[in-house]
Amino acid sequence: REMETERPADAPAECPGTASQSAGKASACAGCPNQQLCASGEAAKPDPAIAQIAERLACVRHKILVLSGKGGVGKSTFSAQLAMGLAGMDRQVGLLDIDICGPSQPRMMGVEGEQVHQSGLGWQPVYPMENLGVVSIGFLLSNPQDAVIWRGPKKNGMIKQFLRDVYWGDELDFLVVDCPPGTSDEHLSVTQYLSTSGVDGAVILTTPQEMSLLDVRKEINFCRKVGLRVIGVVENMSGFVCPCCNEVTDIFSRGGGEALASELGLQFLGRIPIEPRLATCEDEGSNFMHAHAQTPAGQALSSIVGALLATVAPHPLPA
């Protein structure tokens, strides 16, 4: 089956995609207002926004996507702590939340209720720290409890606008992109729009159970199909940290993420245990690695950030 890359907003649900060889020719195209345009090949030409995004993000040294095929494995938690950890190393960091239907970063970063503002340079991120900017659709909602009920093309347009119109400053060391679960419209859009922007790759999150690993294998397969480098695999919720004695107990299975990385020839970045204090920090929007650096989870996160830096930025960044 051909991989769908883009569908016009007014296209039928069965649209094969403008980049498909059957664009404008398939039976689903009958009656579509875009049929003649797609059949001519004009619709398959590169979106001019791709070049605009590459120009906008030329100031960003490293771009890292956080992915998983499974929901509820801790992508947003990891993305938030990764961004805070990098910012805590005196680096300029951006955190982009493209989970359109379930934006978590405003709460996790302690800036819920804030708004992004438009300036002559573009949209201005919200800054929970002086050197950490955050952008999320959660900042655009009048009520954080409002449901975002959008079809794929509207989600894609929002992601395009985030990538093209946000002004991250003159220089940014790291842009962390928190992605929703799965391999759907948002993932195709972000990989397509960043195709010429020099993405370092993706960090894949999983839990140790086979049920999660089944979907994560699909995510890794997606990365390979779209030419996105997999930086490494992180095994989250690997054991439980007792809040009284800090002993780690494997209440679920253990080692599934590491075994998957070995099986597929990928780097295993490390495992993070379940830690009640981490959940508290997420609710409060605080930096867990700073507040609880000596806990098993704090040490695990610090080790993973170090392994990630050694892979994507082996040479010291300019001060």
Per-residue pLDDT of the chain (319 residues; tens, 9 = 90+): 334 446 676 678 788 877 777 888 888 888 888 888 888 876 567 789 999 999 999 999 999 999 998 899 999 999 999 999 999 999 999 999 999 999 999 999 999 999 999 999 999 999 999 999 999 999 999 888 889 999 888 999 999 999 999 999 999 999 999 999 988 889 999 999 999 999 999 999 999 998 899 999 999 999 999 999 999 999 999 999 888 888 888 887 889 999 999 999 999 999 999 999 999 999 999 999 999 999 999 999 999 999 999 999 887 766 6
Q: How many residues are given for the chain?
A: 319
Token code pair at residue 152:
């794929």
d(CA 75, CA 275): 15
Q: What is the rounded CA–CA span in Å between residue 128 and residue 107?
A: 11
Q: What is the pLDDT of residue 170?
A: 94
What is d(CA 69, CA 212) in angstroms, rounded to the nearest whole number? 8
Backbone angles phi, psi at 307, to 5 degrees: -65, -35
For residues 181 and 68, the answer to whether their CB atoms sit within 8 Å is: yes
CA 170, CA 187: separation in Å to the nearest integer?
27
Structure tokens at 292: 């609880």
How many Å is the Cα radius of gyration of the chain? 20
d(CA 196, CA 24): 27
Cβ atoms of 32 and 11 within 8 Å: the answer is: yes
β-pairing, 117-119 with 122-124?
Answer: antiparallel
Task: List Cα–Cα distances, 241 to 234, 238, 245, 251, 278, in angstroms.
Answer: 17, 10, 8, 10, 10
Q: Residue 43: its pLDDT value, please?
A: 58
pLDDT value, residue 6: 66
Q: What residue type is 109 in one-letter code?
A: M
Tell me the C-alpha to C-alpha distance, in Å, between residue 89 and each of 11, 21, 61, 306, 310: 47, 48, 15, 11, 14
How high is the pLDDT of residue 45? Answer: 72
* pLDDT recorded at residue 202: 98
Specify whether the CB–CB gap between 230 and 265 falls below 8 A: no
Helices (H), the chain: 35-40, 48-56, 75-87, 105-108, 152-165, 185-193, 210-225, 256-264, 276-284, 288-291, 296-312
| pLDDT number for residue 1 | 33
Residue 201: helix, strand or coil by DSSP? strand
What pLDDT was estimated at residue 3?
40
